[in-house]
Amino acid sequence: MHGRGRAEDIILGIDEAGRGPVIGDMFMAGVLVRKEAIPQLIKVGVKDSKRLTPSRREKLFPQIIRASQCVVVVRFPPKRIDLEGLTKLFIEGIARILNHVTKEHGCPKEVFVDAVSNPAVKNIISKHLCEGSKLIYEHKADSKYHVVAAASIIAKYLRDKHVEALRSFYGDFGSGYPSDPRTREWLRSMGGKYPPIVRLSWKTLKRISSKGLGRFLGESSVDP
C-alpha cells in the first residue's frame, strides 16, 4: 500500500472498453473527480457508456475532461493481450492508473472499479491502494456510480476512434466483436494470415479457419 496522505474529497472511477473484441486494443480509463463534481456529471447526462450513442459519448468526452481533476488512459495492443492475458493486463492497468493519480493528486478517498469475473483480482488491486483508501469493486459499477460511468465513456470513446482508424486502413471489419457477422467474414477473408490488429489467442479464429491459430499458439488456446 502507498503511505501518502489521502485527499478527503476526491474519488476515482476505473473502467475498460474493448475487453471482448477479437480486433483492436483494450482501453482502460481512470477519472478522478471531487465529490462536488458528481452532480455536474449527472446534469450533463453521464451514464453507462453502453446506454449512449457514439455521438452522445463524443459530446460528453470533453465535458468529463473539464469536470475532472485528472483523466488517465492506458491501452494494451493485441500482442500483449495474446502473450499476457486480459486479467494480468487489467490489474496492470489499474495499478498504473492508481500510481499516476497518487503521485500527482494524492490518494483518493474511494476507488470505484467495474469488476471482472475473476474473484482473485479484488485482493490484488487492494495491494495497490493507498492506506485508508476504500475500494468499491462491483459488477456493473458503470451503471451504479457516475464516476465509473464517466470512465466508461472516456474508454469507449477512445476505443471507438481507435476502431475507426483501423477500419480506414484495414477495411470494414465491422465492430471487431466475434458475434458480428461482418467481423467474422473479414477474418475469413484473411485466409489465416492476420494483421497485428487481431488477437490471435481468441478461439474465434480456430472456429473460422483451421489455419488460424495452430501455427501461432497451439490448439489449447482459448479466449482469455
DSSP 50: G
- Average pLDDT of 196-209? 88
Q: How much is the pLDDT for 207? A: 81
Structural class in CATH, domain 6-168: alpha beta
Q: How much is the pLDDT for 131? A: 85
Cell numbers at residue 117, please? 469475473
**Percent share of the chain, pLDDT over 70:** 89
pLDDT digits (tens, 9 = 90+) for 45-94: 999 898 899 999 999 999 999 999 999 999 999 999 999 999 999 999 99
Q: How much is the pLDDT for 218? A: 34
Average pLDDT score over the chain: 89
| Full-model pTM | 0.89
Superfamily of domain 171-208: Ribonuclease hii. Domain 2 (1.10.10.460)
Query: Which residues 6+ apart lie within 8 Å of 1 measured at CB?
Result: 127, 128, 129, 130, 131
Cell numbers at residue 127, please? 495491494
**Residues 181/206/91/37 CA torsion (nearest 10 deg):** 0
Cell numbers at residue 66, please? 473539464
Q: How much is the pLDDT for 204? A: 84
Q: How much is the pLDDT for 211? A: 45
What DSSP letter does each residue of 84-147 carry, written as one string? H-HHHHHHHHHHHHHHHHHHHH-EEEEEEEE--S-TTHHHHHHTTSBTTPEEEEETTGGGT-HH
Q: Are strands 107-114 and 134-138 parallel, antiparallel or unpaired?
A: parallel
Domain ranges, ordered by start, for the chain: 6-168, 171-208
DSSP 2: B
Phi/psi at 113 (nearest 5 deg)? -130, 135
Environment class of residue 210 by beta-carbon count within 10 Å: exposed (0-12), middle (13-18) or buried (19+)?
Answer: exposed
pLDDT of 12 above 80: yes
28 vs 217, residue with greater confidence: 28
Count of alpha carbons within 13 angstroms of residue 193, beta-carbon side: 1
What DSSP letter does each residue of 140-190 carry, written as one string? TGGGT-HHHHHHHHHHHHHHHHHHHHHHHHH---TTS-TT-HHHHHHHHHT
Nearest to 153 by CA among 79, 39, 68, 36: 68
pLDDT of 1 above 80: no
pLDDT digits (tens, 9 = 90+) for 122-180: 999 999 998 889 999 999 999 999 999 999 999 999 999 999 999 999 999 999 999 99
pLDDT of 216 above 50: no
Cell numbers at residue 44, please? 450533463
